[in-house]
Amino acid sequence: MHLPSIAIIGAGLAGSVCAHTLSAAGCRVTVFDKSRGVGGRMATRRIELDRGPDPTRLSLDHGVGWWPSGSGAFETWLQDLARTGAVASWAPRLRDTSGAVYRAKGWVAQPDMPALCRHLLQGVALHTACPIEALVRGPRGWQLIIAEVAVGPAFDAVVVAIPPAQAVTLLQAHQPTWAVKAQALDMLGCWTLMAVAGSPAGAGQPSAKSQAVPDLGWDILDSTDGPLMRLSRQGIQPGRTLGTNYCAWVAHASPGWSRAHLEDSPETARPVLLQALNKLLPSPMDWVHTVVHRWRYAQAAAPRAGGLQQQTHMWDSAAGLGTCGDHLGGGGLEGAWHSGQDLALHLLTKRPPTQS
């Protein structure tokens, strides 16, 4: 039997799990992502500090960090996946907003956050640095367009696995109702500060301050005091190393602060967030690298609001067009996983006609 060719736009968790399931069932799957790598909001920033004779490379998880264990199909899937090494269980010391500290059982991808999607996309045709701008449905199937030029062959079906505000552009010519509903979804932004303190070995005298980094008694701190909502110590998660001469934090601003300052420049946001980080740490740090990243679409404010159907994905079998993502699946990583997985299973039962 001739199995359909399917293009998936977006290599975050939703698109990657959808691609993995379809590919495992024998479909000819090709994934396109606008970024240079995969993972989407499962993101790790690599930085190089060259203050010494040997430049040091550090990696900081600046999108979703550790996520808590749950129950149900996603948790079972993670437990199975842990055998491959793509994810590992991790129980950080979490200090909650009341000041209580406890071990919180959860998961991280390893050795970095995109590793989970890289694992799922093994053996799947992948094109990165491909920002798809439009979809055209012709007699031979779906064409994906960049700069008014078709990329790749025609496909029997297309899955749009990108955040709703970005999906609107691709969907509106073919499924205007989906596009209108996606447009109505409110996405929360998140300003994120990455801050590294310390001195590299061999670069002269390490600073006294950086050598005396105390054990703060917590690995993740949640706060309601000021712009920052969560601090996550870096380099201590499974698979990561930071070197003994550095310590680093990723600090996520609250949805309210991020919304109020969404259009600020990085130059404006960075000192404010750094000051807030300094306030939450017990002693002054010798910062050697600080940088901010603005996530314009970090999480859906109210997943499934805005009139979208109470289902985890959308699929038009006549057109061979589908869409998935965290915003449809109930939010967060679990929502992304359910949405991508459910769409793939649905598509396999209602297979699109092959054009080629």
Residues that bind ligand FAD (CB under 6 A): 9-15, 32-35, 40-42, 63-64, 67, 130-132, 161-163, 166, 190, 192, 252, 295, 298-299, 325-326, 332-334, 336
Q: How far is the CB of 124 from ligand FAD (least distance, A)?
A: 14
Considering the complex, state which of residue 205 and residue 310 has its C-beta at the smaller distance from ligand FAD.
310
Considering the complex, state which of residue 296 and residue 351 has its C-beta at the smaller distance from ligand FAD.
296
Q: How far is the CB of 10 from ligand FAD (least distance, A)?
A: 3
Q: Is 165:297 a contact under the CB 8 Å cutoff? A: yes
Give the Å distances, CA to CA, from 69 to 39, 66, 272. Answer: 20, 10, 33
Q: Is 195:228 a contact under the CB 8 Å cutoff? A: no
User: How far apart are the C-alpha atoms of 61 and 109, rounded to whole Å?
Assistant: 10
Q: How far is the CB of 353 from ligand FAD (least distance, A)?
A: 25
Q: How far is the CB of 340 from ligand FAD (least distance, A)?
A: 7
Q: How far is the CB of 334 from ligand FAD (least distance, A)?
A: 6
Q: Is 21:341 a contact under the CB 8 Å cutoff? A: yes
Considering the complex, state which of residue 199 and residue 312 has its C-beta at the smaller distance from ligand FAD.
312
Q: Supply the angle between the helices 13-24 and 332-349 in degrees, to the nearest 10.
A: 30
Residues 6+ apart with CB under 8 A from 142: 7, 135, 136, 154, 155, 156, 157, 158, 320, 321
Q: How far is the CB of 204 from ligand FAD (least distance, A)?
A: 35
Considering the complex, state which of residue 23 and residue 166 has its C-beta at the smaller distance from ligand FAD.
166
Considering the complex, state which of residue 10 and residue 235 has its C-beta at the smaller distance from ligand FAD.
10
Considering the complex, state which of residue 190 and residue 281 has its C-beta at the smaller distance from ligand FAD.
190
Q: How far is the CB of 303 from ligand FAD (least distance, A)?
A: 9
Q: How far is the CB of 111 from ligand FAD (least distance, A)?
A: 18
Considering the complex, state which of residue 191 and residue 246 has its C-beta at the smaller distance from ligand FAD.
191
Considering the complex, state which of residue 213 and residue 220 has its C-beta at the smaller distance from ligand FAD.
220
